[in-house]
Structure 1
Amino acid sequence: MTTVDASAELSIPWHSSTLRVVLLSTLLAPFSVALISPGLPVFRDAFGTTDTGASLLLAAILVPGIFLSPVLGLLTDRLGRRRVLVSSLVGWSLAGGLIVLRPSFPVVLALRLVQGAALAGIGVTTITLLGDVFEDVQRNEVLGLNTAVLSAGATAFPLVGGALVTVSWNAPFAMYLLGIPVALFALRVLEEPLGERESRSLVYLRRVVSALSAREAVMLYGSAFVIDSLLFGAVFTGLPFLLAGTYGLSPVLIGLVVAIGEVASTIAATQNGRLARHLSDYGIIAVGFVATAAGLVGAGLAPTPLLIALATLGFGAGWGLALPSIDAGISNLVPTQFRAGALSLRGSASFAGRAAGPIAFAALAVGSGYRVLLLLAGVVALVSALVLFLLMR
């Protein structure tokens, strides 16, 4: 498979079978959290657990990626992107679909852990495929589009999940079966990118680590951890409990508030390629943290659900700006044969943030309340932006 010429006119290569498979796979990913998030108060009551216990439904699907992403990155480089992606889609779909059968809470958590392992495989292979096939500013274009699709799913699926959970607590999980036709489509049309592959685990991992300097690793992997912990802790966990507990909002209305922020994320992500012509990837990430800080502080101070919804535009835009540039920055710094490994380490950092965020927010809110946590999260985002600006000098 040939790589797109960077001198060609920038446009979205919709004819690419790789891009179509990646976008369809990416569209499924928000099912993992965004589809479930608005129903957290319902799940809490259905299983007779606490806010922290209900947050485990989000954490369980995210924890495996912390540890398995590097392993899956190694397998992706050794066995091929196509094989790992198709297997991951099937596993993710079947494990989620089984929850429709109303198993006990421990079994649900176990199935979510299985889904999490498969989700890590989907994340590593999709981003790696885009890094393989596209380069330079066009890589930013397609990575931005990929994040926009991710955000678009996160915009729609809270509404879908909020509506389905009012029918029955297990109804949202039927949506996971949509992964099967996507897996069949990938099996049929996806071409395996050509390139050198590494075969020795220890040598491979050592070379992946050495491909990035310590400074670059702190900036890129640290940013991934922080931005995802803030998004999943504040938006997908803190806001649903705040809106339900303080204002008595229904799951559908909670889903609507969450969706508004994701609209901003979708729009911001589509502009990454344009911004990359004028700013470095690190500069775009720093701007994303500033927008995130403004949104979190605004949500913490907002006195009404409407103003909270407007504040979500800030951290939605921040996440949409930062994520494509984190992936582009890593892809630009490592050779093809180590790209899946380097991006898998980004996956570990992101999954660590996504798993820690929900548990930390739910646990700390017992003593401080969700509003105080939103304000503190805004401070963390602002400090992260300042650190990036200092490291860029």
Structure 2
Amino acid sequence: MFATVCHSDVVSHVVRQVASREQLRHALKQGLTDEANGIPVVRSTVVRETNGQGDLDMTSNTTDSTSPQSTESKPTSPWRSPTVQIVLAATLLAPLGVPLVSPTLPVFRDAFGISDAQASLLISTYFLVGIVLSPFIGMLADRIGRRTVLIGGLVVFSLSGGAIAVAPSFEAVLALRLIGGTAAAGIFITTVTLIGDTFEGTQRNAVLGMNNAVLSAGAAIFPLVGGALATVSWNVPYFAYLVGLPLALYAVRHLEEPSHERDSQGIAYLRRAVRVLSGTDALVLYGAACMTELLLFGAVVTIMPFLLEGNFGMSALAIGIVLAISETSSVVVSAKNGWFARYLSNYGLIAVGFACYAVGLFGAWLVPTPVGITLSMLVFGVGLGLSMPAVDAAISDLVSAGLRGGALSLRNSTTFLGRSAGPVVFTGIAAITGYYPLFVASAVVALAIALSVLSMGVIRARRVTHVEEPA
């Protein structure tokens, strides 16, 4: 009896205090994790990272993403870390791809003497390669390292974007956009993967939230920059891409590859990835990522401007302000995602986020006035700030480090798929049902997803509790 109690105490201590990989393997043998299958359950790590001023210790305890994050440890602030600085700067460049370019499409069309449909190919070709090639880029990041893929992505993104300014033909521009979209996918994937590799628990949520806040802020600001630069000439905005080259040079000198064992390669890698990522948990998370973008780009970005202009005669500037309010609330809440993660699990944050989508979309139907719709979009933006970083954190928790690049690359594919399909799906349905019934139906779908994600979180929490019970 005494031996059994002692054994239980030792196992509990290992689960809480494990810091080295050898100890983690010992815990794995006790059945406390399933990391051999790419699914960590409970672990504690110490991340050491050089910040140019000495070693920075960032200790954090992490449990399964279905339970509220531990607040007992007080990790060192990550914001002085070169990794975080480089990741956030790279993320800020990402909106150069579409938000900077979108306002310039009419000027670009006139400069090349093409149709509206042809000019729109600058956007669709950029997203298309992200859908198709993201999984392969994720596999590459797992195989050769995140650092190499990110630096290469920054260089190619900058050069291909800058080269558009001197492109001799429309066909050359499209070819460069395909190359740039591929590089952008590498940046999207590796930035989030680096955060997942480097941080744990609430600190991971905090950095992912700030990463999403930076992305949203760039998406709100760059359309103004692109529009202003395009008044000079159609090609001037593309010179902005070249700012990525100094960042790539800085990353060469200061970005370190996270220390982790690389997973199996080739067929073995694919077999493990399929086994882990075809499970119910992964499918729910990827579905949540896709539906978030589908609702955002379909209901908000595409349908809402048509409704505001057609029903209320609002100007483009007024419509932009309404959409900017949604982005603003998303930025504020995203930046505080780590704080929310102290009290809710990642699944809980995603569920509340989708509930906010439902409230926002239902509110647009219930109070069909400019003020009512603006307040509804404010709530929708809160949902974005809660759910988007939590999805990335939950996917990062779902797999081992050796599969994380591949796992997050699939999230990138589903994200781009939702962005591409949203405008087409929602405009097609709206032509049959009208705007307001579509908002109600979308709210019902969002609420159903919220309940599904919440149920999945409860199931996982019970499973983890059962695993943690001492023998």
Normalised by the length of structure 2, the TM-score is 0.74
State the 1:331 CA deviation. 1.2
Relative to structure 1, the CA distance from residue 378 to residue 146 in structure 2 (aligned partners, 3 Å threshold; closer, same or farther) is same
More helix by share: 1
Residue equivalent to 1:124: 189
Q: State whether residues 221 and 346 of structure 1, in contact with CA within 8 Å, keep that contact through their aligned partners in structure 2.
A: yes
Give the alignment partner of residue 96 of structure 1, picking from 157, 161, 180: 161
Distance 1:117 1:203 in 2: 25
**Please, which runs of 5 or more residues in structure 1 have no aligned partner?**
none
1:86-235 equivalent positions in 2, closer than 5 A: 86-101=151-166, 106-165=171-230, 168-198=233-263, 200-212=265-277, 214-235=279-300
SS of aligned partner of 2:58? coil
Residue equivalent to 1:358: 423
Q: CA RMSD in A?
A: 3.0
State the 1:49 CA deviation. 3.9
SS of aligned partner of 1:5? strand
Distance 2:429 2:234 in 1: 26
Give the alignment partner of residue 283 of structure 1, picking from 348, 360, 380: 348
Distance 1:87 1:272 in 2: 30
Distance 2:427 2:245 in 1: 33
Question: Could you report, residue by residue, the CA deviation over 1:109-147 in whole angstroms, capped at 9, with x for unpaired residues?
Answer: 443322221111011111111111111221111111111
Tell me the amino acid that sits aligned with residue 282 of structure 2.
Answer: A
1:239-250 equivalent positions in 2, closer than 5 A: 239-240=304-305, 247=313, 249-250=315-316
Relative to structure 1, the CA distance from residue 260 to residue 122 in structure 2 (aligned partners, 3 Å threshold; closer, same or farther) is same
SS of aligned partner of 1:277? coil
**Please, which runs of 5 or more residues in structure 2 have no aligned partner?**
1-46, 49-56, 62-72, 459-471
Q: State whether residues 148 and 270 of structure 1, in contact with CA within 8 Å, keep that contact through their aligned partners in structure 2.
A: yes
Residue equivalent to 2:411: 346
Residue equivalent to 2:325: 260
Tell me the amino acid that sits aligned with residue 155 of structure 1.
Answer: A
State the 1:314 CA deviation. 2.1
Relative to structure 1, the CA distance from residue 279 to residue 248 in structure 2 (aligned partners, 3 Å threshold; closer, same or farther) is closer
SS of aligned partner of 1:195? coil
Q: State whether residues 151 and 320 of structure 1, in contact with CA within 8 Å, keep that contact through their aligned partners in structure 2.
A: no
Residue equivalent to 1:25: 90
Distance 1:293 1:14 in 2: 34
Distance 1:45 1:127 in 2: 38
Question: Could you report, residue by residue, the CA deviation over 1:340-359 in whole angstroms, capped at 9, with x for unpaired residues?
Answer: 11111212211211222234
Matched, 1:6 2:71: no
SS of aligned partner of 1:65? helix
Residue equivalent to 1:381: 446
SS of aligned partner of 2:60? coil
Question: Could you report, residue by residue, the CA deviation over 1:27-85 in whole angstroms, capped at 9, with x for unpaired residues?
Answer: 111222333445667767876645x7665443322221222111111111111111110
State the 1:14 CA deviation. 1.7
Tell me the amino acid that sits aligned with residue 201 of structure 1.
Answer: G
Relative to structure 1, the CA distance from residue 255 to residue 178 in structure 2 (aligned partners, 3 Å threshold; closer, same or farther) is farther
Distance 1:127 1:169 in 2: 32
State the 1:95 CA deviation. 2.5
Q: State whether residues 73 and 341 of structure 1, in contact with CA within 8 Å, keep that contact through their aligned partners in structure 2.
A: yes
Tell me the amino acid that sits aligned with residue 315 of structure 2.
Answer: L
Q: State whether residues 347 and 456 of structure 2, in contact with CA within 8 Å, keep that contact through their aligned partners in structure 1.
A: no
Question: Could you report, residue by residue, the CA deviation over 1:123-173 in whole angstroms, capped at 9, with x for unpaired residues?
Answer: 111111111111122111111111111122123223333444555555443
SS of aligned partner of 2:141? helix
State the 1:387 CA deviation. 2.4
Structure showing greater radius of gyration is 2
Matched, 1:34 2:99: yes
Distance 2:285 2:170 in 1: 36
Give the alignment partner of residue 390 of structure 2, picking from 325, 328, 335: 325
State the 1:289 CA deviation. 0.8
Relative to structure 1, the CA distance from residue 357 to residue 97 in structure 2 (aligned partners, 3 Å threshold; closer, same or farther) is farther
Distance 1:244 1:41 in 2: 20
Q: State whether residues 331 and 339 of structure 1, in contact with CA within 8 Å, keep that contact through their aligned partners in structure 2.
A: yes
Moved more, 374-383 or 83-92: 374-383
Relative to structure 1, the CA distance from residue 103 to residue 311 in structure 2 (aligned partners, 3 Å threshold; closer, same or farther) is farther
Relative to structure 1, the CA distance from residue 4 to residue 290 in structure 2 (aligned partners, 3 Å threshold; closer, same or farther) is same
Residue equivalent to 2:38: none
Question: Could you report, residue by residue, the CA deviation over 1:322-346 in whole angstroms, capped at 9, with x for unpaired residues?
Answer: 1111111111121111111111121
Q: State whether residues 209 and 336 of structure 2, in contact with CA within 8 Å, keep that contact through their aligned partners in structure 1.
A: yes
Relative to structure 1, the CA distance from residue 222 to residue 133 in structure 2 (aligned partners, 3 Å threshold; closer, same or farther) is same
Q: Percent identity among equivalent residues?
A: 52
Q: Which has the higher contact order (CA 8 A, sep 6+)?
A: 1
Q: State whether residues 55 and 358 of structure 1, in contact with CA within 8 Å, keep that contact through their aligned partners in structure 2.
A: no
Q: State whether residues 282 and 398 of structure 2, in contact with CA within 8 Å, keep that contact through their aligned partners in structure 1.
A: no
State the 1:238 CA deviation. 3.7
Q: State whether residues 288 and 317 of structure 1, in contact with CA within 8 Å, keep that contact through their aligned partners in structure 2.
A: yes
Tell me the amino acid that sits aligned with residue 290 of structure 2.
Answer: F
Distance 1:238 1:196 in 2: 46
